[in-house]
Structures are given as structure tokens and as C-alpha cells.
Amino acid sequence: MSDIRWIDAPANAHGRAARLAVRATGAGPLTVLLHGYPLDHRMWDAVRDGQLADHRTLAAIDLRGHGSSPSAGDDAHAMERFADDVAAVVDALAPDGRADVVGLSMGGYAALAFAERHPQRLRSLALVDTRAAADAPAARANREAAIAMATTQGASAIADAMLPKLLAPGADPAVAKALRAMIADTPVATIVADLRGLRDRADRTALLPAIAAPALVVVGEHDAITPVAEAEAMACALPCARLVVVPGAGHMTPMEQPAAFAEALAAFWRAIG
Ligand code: MLT
């Protein structure tokens, strides 16, 4: 069973106050699921409908401005602001004040910011198709081009540009269709604020050895955006991490191979007890 909860996140130096829509499924300790750019909670639907809900309360957050969560009017979505929003959700929904945090790509950047800013609220960390490094100069230039594209041509143009890079060869057309719909539904102002936050995010490579919580790194074998080598490097730098490379997946592993993804997460949770 899934219901929508509304959580208030207070304003701070990184952004304005916001109302966050959270879909919670299942029972047990809290797990928060953080979507990628420029997506929303729906990217976790296949995972939330499966076996994981037997083990955890799965809370899929619409980050501010995405999905059902209204924009707070921020010019940029700093990863620190997303992390503090997640802390507000954990405080509201976790009886023991801690959560397993699962973040894909941009959600992984936010999860790393959460690990840095709120370590006492982190039970375990799953970094999915993501990286710890900041944008290199060429990537920053690409963000500027994407901002211009979103502003002049709209969200559908962003979807057209992104889709070929998101999925493994031979991906299910239904997954591509769902992704396109999510991107096209995202307001341009949110896309632009995300792109500024992504462009300016901190390099958290040096944080990795200091993360005490158990960690899982998951990557699709065909991930063209955050490749397997980046995942291997993160898993090596984390003090207590396991790495799972998922066959047949690209950048959107939880949507492309939900059963294999869920099994990797369930095995990780079984191992950490
Ligand atoms: C994402 O999937 O969240 C984005 O590809 C992240 C990025 O562009 O760095």
C-alpha cells in the first residue's frame, strides 16, 4: 500500500522552505529513495512494487520542484539543500531518526551531501549509477548548453537529448516511454535549477573514506553517463562497501533491471543486518 505524505522542509542558507511529497510503501525501518535529474518518484515504481517493501518502509521523495513537490522558487538546487530536505523527511518519518539512503545519479550526489551533513541520520548508503567527483570544465560547459536548450526549446528537447544516453542497448521501449514522460513533465524552471546545482556541486571524493556507514555501489554494465570505472573507484575509496555491476542495464538500473537491482539491495541489507 502506498500513500502520499507531505513534509515541510525549513529554509536555510542553501534554499527556501519547501513542501515535499513523499510516497511511502511497505513496513519496517525507513529507506529513502532519491531520484535522478530531471525525474521524480516514478522512477522507483517497479522497485517499490517488489520484494523490498517486505523489509523496509520505502519512501520515494519528489525532490523540490519535481513530481508533486512544488518549486520553492530557488534559482539553483544545491545538493546541500536536497540533503537537508531529506533530513527533514527522515526526522518526520523515521521512528529511530535514521534511514537507509538510496540515490541514483543526482540523487546519489544528494545522498553524498547527506552523508557529509547528516551522518547521524544515515544507517546505510546505496550509491546507484552516480559519481563522487564534481563536474569537469567540459561537463560544466554542457550544463550551460543544456540550460540554453531547456529555456529556448523546453523539457521535450531535454528528453530527446538525454534518452539515447540513459538506457542500455535493447532497453524495453516501455521504460524509454516512461522516462520521456517524466522528463517532459518536469517544469523548465526545475530543470534549470537542477542544472545549476549539478554544475556547481562539490567534489566529494575526499569524503568517501570518512563514511562510516555500510555502503553499496550499484552500476549498470552499460552506464554511459557514470561508467563502471567510476563506480569501482567509489567502492574502493569507501571503507565498507560492496560493488554490484548489473548486467543489461545502462544509467537507469532500477528501471531497466528492477529485479536484479532489488536483489542487490536486499542482499546488502541482509548482510548488514
Ligand atoms: C542524473 O541522472 O541524475 C544525471 O545524469 C546526473 C548528471 O547529469 O550528472
| pLDDT tens digits, 4-23 | 999 999 999 999 999 999 99
Based on the residue annotation, tell me whether 251 is a catalytic residue of this protein: yes
Q: Is the dihedral of CA 61, 67, 69, 74 positive or negative?
A: positive
Tell me the three cell numbers of residue 50.
517488489
Query: How many A from CA of 36 to the centre of ligand 1?
Result: 6
| Confidence at 143, pLDDT banded by 50, 70, 90 | very high
Query: How many A from CA of 201 to the centre of ligand 1?
Result: 12
pLDDT of residue 18: 97
Q: How far apart are CA 258 and CA 264, in angstroms?
A: 10
| Confidence at 273, pLDDT banded by 50, 70, 90 | confident
Q: Which residue in the list 84, 105, 124, 222 is annotated as catalytic?
A: 105
Based on the residue annotation, tell me whether 156 is a catalytic residue of this protein: no
Which residue type is seen at 204?
A: R
* Global model pTM greater than 0.85: yes
Alpha carbon separation from 89 to 30, 47, 74, 195, 235 (Å, rounded): 10, 20, 19, 23, 27
Q: How far apart are CA 145 and CA 35, in angstroms?
A: 23
Tell me the three cell numbers of residue 132.
563522487
Q: Which residue in the list 62, 84, 100, 223 is annotated as catalytic?
A: 223
Atom of ligand 1 lying closest to residue 107 CA? 3
Domain that holds residue 12: 3-272
**Residues enclosing ligand 1, CB less than 6 A?**
36-37, 105-106, 198, 225
pLDDT of residue 3: 79
Q: Is the peptide bond before 187 cis (omega within 30 degrees of 0)?
A: no
Contact (CB, 8 A) for 190 and 147: no
CATH code, 96: 3.40.50.1820
pLDDT above 70: percentage of residues in the chain: 99
Atom of ligand 1 lying closest to residue 130 CA? 6
Number of domains in the chain: 1
